[in-house]
């Protein structure tokens, strides 16, 4: 072995031990996460903690729950924004909403909602389409801390300018500023948007199905999973979706490389909106 392959084998071992330790001590299972970004995020954490090795990070993570929380926040990549991928909302409005109207009550699961920006975006869209009263949106994330933040419905005021532009491009029909009030550096979302939201922790890796849904959104979450875990989560979504229910994935995610491809038809191939047909 060359020195670099030796280093890299040792690093792989250290990552394995870290994940095993986290799983056994905290009950969080990252062993099915896709290796390239997992490794990158772990190495970033090692450097942010000013440590020299992954083993040193393992030591700190096991003895310091706050360090675990910092690592968790990095591993789960909570990057989000309101009306992210504006075209998705346009398509949702034109192709999904008309069909949802035919149901008396609509259950939606937003899996991996992070700090909630996209959940509130959906609540705004459904409000404008006069459908929100009939909906309940279950918004879940593995991370209790981000769920608590999502529940507040408070976002940095500075982000609202970009969000307003997104809202317009996403086909918003009202005035975005009517959905929040400014409070110092914060934008506090209108409480009516929260009425039909249920925030809760849920771990896609280890938790079971908890309801039947008309819509499941899981956008840019499964890109962090390896293929085997992706297939398992797809199976969970498939069994949680009602027949003819909708599944929305991230812009660059695909059903093509999963065994569930034939159970869905594309509602909009470009925006990764699918409908369960089998």
**Contacting other proteins within 203-242 (CB under 8 A):** 220, 222-224, 226-227, 230
* Options 117, 253, 268, 271; binder of other proteins; rule CB under 8 A: 253
In the complex with other proteins, which residue's Cβ is closer, 50 or 256?
256
Is 201 among the residues that bind other proteins (CB under 8 A)?
A: no
* Options 87, 99, 131, 198; binder of other proteins; rule CB under 8 A: 87
Q: What angle do CA 101, 105, 111 make, to 5 degrees?
A: 95
| Rounded-to-10 torsion of CA 257, 87, 107, 145 | 80
Is 261 among the residues that bind other proteins (CB under 8 A)?
A: no
Structural contact between residues 215 and 245, judged by C-beta atoms closer than 8 angstroms: yes
Minimum distance, C-beta of residue 7 to other proteins, in the bound complex (Å): 9
* Options 105, 184, 252, 278; binder of other proteins; rule CB under 8 A: 252
Structural contact between residues 89 and 171, judged by C-beta atoms closer than 8 angstroms: yes
In the complex with other proteins, which residue's Cβ is closer, 103 or 257?
257
In the complex with other proteins, which residue's Cβ is closer, 83 or 179?
83
- Residues paired with residue 217 on neighbouring β-strands, in sequence order: 110, 248
**Contacting other proteins within 98-117 (CB under 8 A):** none
Q: What are the helix (H) ranges across the chain?
A: 3-26, 35-48, 54-63, 65-75, 86-91, 97-100, 117-128, 144-152, 160-169, 227-240
Minimum distance, C-beta of residue 38 to other proteins, in the bound complex (Å): 9
Is 34 among the residues that bind other proteins (CB under 8 A)?
A: yes
Helix axes 144-152, 65-75, angle to 10 degrees: 70
């Amino acid at each position: 072995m060359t020195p670099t392959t030796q280093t890299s084998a040792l690093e792989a071992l250290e990552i394995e031990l870290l994940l095993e330790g986290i799983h056994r001590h905290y009950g969080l299972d990252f062993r099915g996460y896709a290796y390239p970004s997992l490794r990158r995020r772990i190495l970033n954490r090692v450097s942010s903690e000013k440590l020299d090795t992954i083993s040193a990070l393992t030591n700190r993570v096991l003895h310091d729950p706050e360090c675990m929380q910092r690592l968790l926040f990095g591993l789960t990549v909570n990057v989000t924004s309101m009306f992210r991928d504006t075209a998705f909302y346009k398509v949702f409005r034109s192709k999904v909403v008309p069909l949802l109207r035919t149901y008396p009550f609509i259950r939606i699961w937003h899996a991996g909602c992070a700090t909630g920006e996209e959940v509130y975006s959906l609540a705004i869209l459904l409000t404008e389409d006069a459908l929100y009263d009939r909906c309940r949106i279950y918004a879940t994330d593995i991370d209790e801390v981000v769920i608590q933040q999502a529940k507040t419905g408070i976002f940095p005021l500075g982000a609202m300018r970009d969000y307003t532009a997104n809202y317009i491009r996403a086909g918003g029909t009202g005035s975005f500023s009517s959905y929040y009030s400014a409070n110092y550096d914060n934008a506090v979302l209108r409480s009516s948007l929260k009425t039909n939201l249920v925030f809760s922790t849920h771990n896609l890796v280890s938790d079971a199905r908890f309801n039947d849904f008309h819509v499941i959104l899981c956008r840019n979450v499964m890109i962090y999973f390896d293929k085997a875990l992706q297939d398992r989560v797809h199976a969970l979504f498939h069994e949680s979706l009602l027949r003819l229910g909708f599944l929305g994935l991230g812009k660059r995610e695909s059903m093509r490389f999963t065994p569930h491809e034939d159970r869905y038809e594309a509602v909009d191939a470009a925006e990764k909106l699918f409908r369960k047909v089998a």
